[in-house]
Amino acid sequence: MNLKNNFDIKYKIPKPKNYKKYNIGIIGAGNIVENSHLPTYLDHNLNIINIYDADTNKSKLLKDKFNIQKYSKNLDEFLNDKSIDIVDIAVPAKYNKELFFEALKYNKNILIQKPLSDNIKTGLDILKKYQETNLKANVNHQMRYSPSISAAGYLIKNNMLGNILEFNFYTKRKTDWSIWPWLDKIKYPELWYNSIHYIDTIRSLFGEPIKLNSKLLKHPNSNLDKPTRTYINFEYENNLYGSLNINHDSILESDMWTAGFEIEGDMGVCSGKISSMIGDGKNFKDNISFTSKNSDEPLVFNKELDGRWFSDAFIGPMFSLIEAIDNNTQPETNIADAFKTLKLLNLIEKSHETSSIISCQ
Ligand SMILES: NC(=O)c1ccc[n+]([C@@H]2O[C@H](COP(=O)([O-])OP(=O)(O)OC[C@H]3O[C@@H](n4cnc5c(N)ncnc54)[C@H](O)[C@@H]3O)[C@@H](O)[C@H]2O)c1
C-alpha cells in the first residue's frame, strides 16, 4: 500500500469574503468568551465593537484586555447600539430564551451558545420564534468544525470510506467541573454541556439515528455528584451502528488521556485524535489517518492537522452565520438543526431513565 501524505484533504474553515462588513457585540464576559470567542475572533480580524455582561466588572475587564471599543452597562443600552449587526450570546442556557427574544426585537442576527436551551420546551419556543423572522441565528456547535472531525467529514463526503458501517467516538480524561458552579442545578451536566458536542458532531457526520440506547453513570471519584460517564449506542438505517463512550474521571495521567474516533466503511477506515481533550489541550495536535481502497491504488494516509477544537473551531459557526446573512441562506447549525440535537439529548435521558432502547422517529 502507498503511504500518501500529500493526499489533499480539505478541512480548513473558509473565510466569508464580506466578513468585515459586520459588527459584532457580545453578551457574556465569562470563561468561554475570554478564552475562546474573543481570542479566535480577533485572530481572524473580526469587528468586535461592544460587550455586555450582567456583571459590569467583567465587561470592563474584557473590554480592556481585548481592546474592544466599548462596553454597555445594561441590556437596553447594548441592544440600542444600532451599529451591532450580530449579537453573540454566551451565558448560562437558562437565560438564552429571554436574550434571544430581546435581540430579535432589536433586529439583531444572533449566534448563541449551546445548549440552545436547558430544556426541550423553551428550545421549542426559541425555534418557533425563529421561524417567524427573516433574521439569521446560529448555535455555537463548533466541534464539527474541529480539524480531525472536519477531515473525517471530507473523507465521508468524498466516498473514501464507502458505505459507513460503524463508528466509535470516545474521550477518557479528568474534568474539574467546579469552574461552572451553575451546573449544580442541571440534572445531567455532562450530557447537556459536554457530550452534546459529540452528539451534534455525530449528527453532522451520519444524520439522524432511528434508535438509541444509553447509560448515564456516576463515577466514585468525581467531584460532581452527577453522571460524568456517558455511554450511547446509535442505530441507523443502512446497516450503520455507532457508539459514544465518554468518561471524565479517568485515573490516568493527563498525557495518557485519550480522545478521538474510529469510523469504518466497506471501502475504508479512518481514525482521528481530538487534541483539545488530551493533556492541557495543547500538548498534542489533531491527527487523521485512513486507509482507503476506493481509489486507483490503495491509499494509506496519516497526517497531523493545523488548529484545534479549542479554540480555532470557534470561528466556524460565526463564519457560517456571516455567510448566511450575506447570501440570505440558513447557517449550518441554525436553530432548527440545533433543536434536533436537543431532541436527541431528551431521548438519551429517556433511554437511560427507562433502561430501554428508544425509537428516534
Ligand atoms: N461551545 C463550547 O464549547 C462551550 C464551552 C464552555 C461553555 N459554553 C457555553 O457558554 C455559556 C457560558 O459559559 P461560561 O463557561 O462562559 O460560563 P461563565 O459562568 O464563566 O460565564 C457566564 C457569564 O454570563 C454572565 N451572565 C449570566 N446571566 C447573564 C445575563 N442574563 N445577561 C448577561 N450576562 C449574564 C455572567 O455574569 C458570567 O460572566 C454556557 O451556556 C456554556 O454552555 C460553551
Q: What is the DSSP string of 87-144?
A: EEE-S-GGGHHHHHHHHHHTT-EEEEPSSS-SSHHHHHHHHHHHHT-SS-EEE---GG
Distance between Cα 66 and ligand 1 center (Å): 18
**Closest atom, ligand 1, to C-alpha of 30:** 21
Distance between Cα 99 and ligand 1 center (Å): 13
What are the structural domains of the chain? 19-142+315-334 (3.40.50.720), 144-308+343-359 (3.30.360.10)
How much of the chain, in percent, has pLDDT values that exceed 70? Answer: 98
Measuring from atom 28 of ligand 1, which residue has the nearest CA? 91
The pLDDT of 232-242, averaged and rounded, is 97
The pLDDT of 254-279, averaged and rounded, is 97
Name the burial class of residue 280, with classes exposed (0-12), middle (13-18) and buried (19+) by CB atoms within 10 angstroms of its CB. Answer: exposed
Instruction: Give whole-number Cα distances, 155 to 8, 243, 314, in Å.
Output: 10, 19, 22
The pLDDT of 8-37, averaged and rounded, is 96
Spatial CB neighbours of 269, under 8 Å, sequence gap ≥ 6? 161, 262, 263, 290, 291
Res 151: pLDDT? 97
**53 close to ligand 1 (CB < 6 Angstrom):** yes
pLDDT higher than 80, residue 111: yes
Mutate-to-test residue for ligand 1 from 113, 192, 194, 315, highest number of ligand atoms within 8 A of CB: 113
Q: What is the mean pLDDT of the chain?
A: 96
**114 close to ligand 1 (CB < 6 Angstrom):** yes
Helices (H), the chain: 31-32, 38-43, 56-65, 75-79, 96-105, 120-131, 147-157, 189-190, 196-206, 315-327, 335-354
Res 3: pLDDT? 55
Spatial CB neighbours of 82, under 8 Å, sequence gap ≥ 6? none
Distance between Cα 89 and ligand 1 center (Å): 8
Res 291: pLDDT? 94
**19 close to ligand 1 (CB < 6 Angstrom):** no
Length in residues, the chain: 361
Residue owning grid cell 442545578 = 185
Distance between Cα 195 and ligand 1 center (Å): 17
Q: Is 334 helix (H, G, I), strand (E, B) or coil?
A: strand
Measuring from atom 10 of ligand 1, which residue has the nearest CA? 90
**Closest atom, ligand 1, to C-alpha of 33:** 16
Name the burial class of residue 227, with classes exposed (0-12), middle (13-18) and buried (19+) by CB atoms within 10 angstroms of its CB. Answer: buried
In whole angstroms, what is the distance from residue 315 CA to residue 101 CA? 24
Max alpha carbon distance in the chain (Å)?
63
Instruction: Give whole-number Cα distances, 54 to 78, 91, 110, in Å.
Output: 11, 10, 18
Distance between Cα 214 and ligand 1 center (Å): 28
**72 close to ligand 1 (CB < 6 Angstrom):** no
- Residue 288's nearest CA partner among 101, 90, 151, 87 is 151
The pLDDT of 306-322, averaged and rounded, is 98
The pLDDT-based confidence of 240 (bands split at 50, 70, 90) is very high
Measuring from atom 41 of ligand 1, which residue has the nearest CA? 92
**Closest atom, ligand 1, to C-alpha of 114:** 43
pLDDT higher than 60, residue 257: yes
Write 353-361 long-range contacts (CB < 8 A, 24+).
356/213, 357/211, 357/212, 357/213, 358/211, 358/212, 358/213, 359/210, 359/211, 360/208, 360/209, 360/210, 360/211, 360/212, 361/210
**58 close to ligand 1 (CB < 6 Angstrom):** yes
Res 297: pLDDT? 78
**55 close to ligand 1 (CB < 6 Angstrom):** yes
- Assigned C-alpha cell, 193: 454541556
Res 2: pLDDT? 54
